Amino acid sequence: MPRKFKWNLQETAGALGDYGTLLPIILGVALTTDMELGPMLFFFGLAYILTGLYYRLPVPVEPMKAIGALAIAGTLSSGSILVAGFFTGLFLLIISWKGWIQRIKRLIPLAIIRGLQLGLGLTLLFTAGSFMISDPWVGFTAMSIIIIFSLKRLPNISALIVIFFGLVWGLSQFGFPGVFFLSFPLLSLPSLGDLGTGFFQGAFPQIPITLANSILATSLLIKDLFNENVPEQKLTVSVGLISLIPPLFGGFPMCHGAGGLAAQYRFGARTGASNIISGSFLLFLALFFASPQTIQLFPIGILGALLFFSGIQLGKSALKTDNIPVTAIAGVFGFFHLALGFILALAFYWAQKWLKNNYPWRR
């Protein structure tokens, strides 16, 4: 029986739980490239709503982190971002055909996925710390609110409270932003010079991260949190579509993510209603207030507090591993670079398995 939508304060709080990941990346891309904030927020909002309706669970929609980090660092232009998203999405749609994703899954042990969850959790904690240090008063006030709600076992709407607190603080500092109407997104095509950069520097490092975190780890975490089975093939198709189509019209490549799911769940999301609420809010911003001034209303300390507790939630899932060395390698090296952690842990796992099969006395 399909999971029913719940429309309450907890779902609303959970809907805002992943903004600590989404907003910093999207704002950074808007400030460092020539991509416009409006179309990016528009497609995020649309993807959130459609994902909530389709899965009826709080399956998150996030910017692709490798592409986002490279864009903010100045490595990728808007055209290269388009190419990276297009090829990543195309690859995912291809492997979703005839169950190829299941064959890939058999080559990637559960312990590696747990390790990547650990690496992402550590990354979120590190980012959260840097955010709160740069905005300590707001950040630690927000963290205190979340801790009080947790210790007192109050209704899990702490994310909603801290977001409201952040908005009040932002309005007091910057005032109310002016209305900024979204123009209709138009088809854009990359230049020939963007093809190589987008594929080799964008899509190539993004694909293993997407496979491990956005698909395999997300499917696993859904099972852990909701005891429901969402096949990897479904997630592969939806990630493929939201990373391939929106960049053609000014959007940013999107994916699902275990970190975002942990964040939404931690702050109260239990049904797809949280996605619809989140998407509606993003669409409202995109249509009427899609300017960098609007994002300034969310103090970085608020985002840091939300990220901190999301990182803890994600790290807890990593403790369920059945192979501590493999998980540790994936987590530690994944903290520095997810693709590196994935490759090293996979190599160690297969070496470990080969030794076990050929030299059983060395177990």
Is there a domain that residue 260 lies in?
yes
Q: Is residue 276 part of a domain?
A: yes
Tell me: pLDDT of 34 over 90.
no
d(CA 293, CA 348): 47
pTM to 2 decimals? Answer: 0.81
Query: Rounded distance, CA 343 to CA 322, Å?
Result: 19
Average pLDDT, the chain: 85
Q: In this predicted structure, which of 200-214, 222-236, 294-308 has the lowest mean pLDDT?
A: 294-308
Weakest-pLDDT range from 28-32, 55-59, 326-330: 28-32
Instruction: State the pLDDT at residue 221.
Output: 93
pLDDT at residue 66, as a whole number: 80
Report the alpha-carbon distance of residue 151 to residue 156 in Å, rounded: 11
Query: Which pLDDT does position 104 carry in this prediction?
Result: 81
Q: What pLDDT sits at residue 349?
A: 92
- Give the rounded distance of the alpha carbon of 39 from its chain centre: 18
Q: Is residue 273 part of a domain?
A: yes
Please enumerate in sequence order all residues whose Cβ is within 8 A of that of 205, keeping only pairs 6 or more positions apart, or say none: 66, 70, 339
Query: Rounded to whole angstroms, what are the CA distances from 176 to 31, 164, 324?
Result: 20, 14, 50
Q: Is 294's pLDDT higher than 80?
A: no
pLDDT tens digits for 244-263? 999 999 999 999 988 889 88
| Residue 86 lies inside a defined structural domain of this protein | yes
| Residue carrying structure tokens 């998150």 | 60
Structural domain count, the chain: 1
> What is the band of 100 on the pLDDT scale with cuts at 50, 70, 90?
confident
Q: Note whether residue 359 is domain-resident.
A: no
* 125: three-class secondary structure by DSSP: helix
Distance, in Å, from the CA atom of 261 to the CA atom of 281, rounded to the nearest integer, reads: 18
Torsion sign over Cα 357, 361, 362, 363: positive
Q: What is the mean pLDDT of residues 21-49?
A: 87
Q: What is the pLDDT of residues 139-181, one digit of tens each?
A: 888 888 888 877 766 556 677 788 788 888 888 887 777 777 7
The pLDDT value given to residue 166: 81
Which ranges constitute the DSSP H helices of the chain? 9-15, 19-32, 37-55, 65-72, 78-95, 100-107, 110-134, 136-151, 158-174, 192-197, 204-209, 218-226, 232-244, 258-266, 273-288, 292-295, 300-318, 324-336, 338-358
Task: Identify the burial level of 28 via C-beta atoms within 10 angstroms of its C-beta, where 0-12 means exposed, 13-18 middle and 19 or more buried.
Answer: middle
| Gap between the Cα atoms of 141 and 134, Å rounded | 13
pLDDT at 360 over 90: no
Which structural domain, as residue segments, surrounds residue 232?
9-175+191-353
pLDDT surpassing 70 at residue 1: no
pLDDT at 230 over 60: yes
Distance separating alpha carbons of residues 305 and 309, to the nearest angstrom: 7
Residues linked to residue 254 through DSSP beta bridges, in sequence order: 63
Crossing angle of the two packed helices 78-95 and 232-244, in degrees rounded to 10: 150
Q: What percent of the chain has pLDDT over 90?
A: 33
> What sign has the CA pseudo-torsion 225, 227, 232, 236?
negative
Which among 89, 279, 77 has a CA at the least distance from the CA of 188?
Answer: 77
Structure-block tokens of residue 136: 């300590």
Residue 178 pLDDT: 73
Determine the pLDDT at residue 90: 95
Asked if residue 361 is part of any domain, the answer here is no
User: Is 69 part of any domain?
Assistant: yes
The whole-number pLDDT of residue 262 equals: 87
- Tokens read off for 335: 């903290």
Pair 76, 29: CB distance under 8 Å: no
Q: Provide the token pair at 70.
A: 């490279």
Question: The tokens of 326 are what?
Answer: 């493999």
pLDDT in tens, 63-96: 998 888 788 767 889 999 999 999 999 999 999 8
pLDDT, tens digit (0-9, with 9 covering 90-100), for 170-206: 888 877 777 777 777 778 888 888 998 898 888 987 8
Q: Is residue 185 part of a domain?
A: no
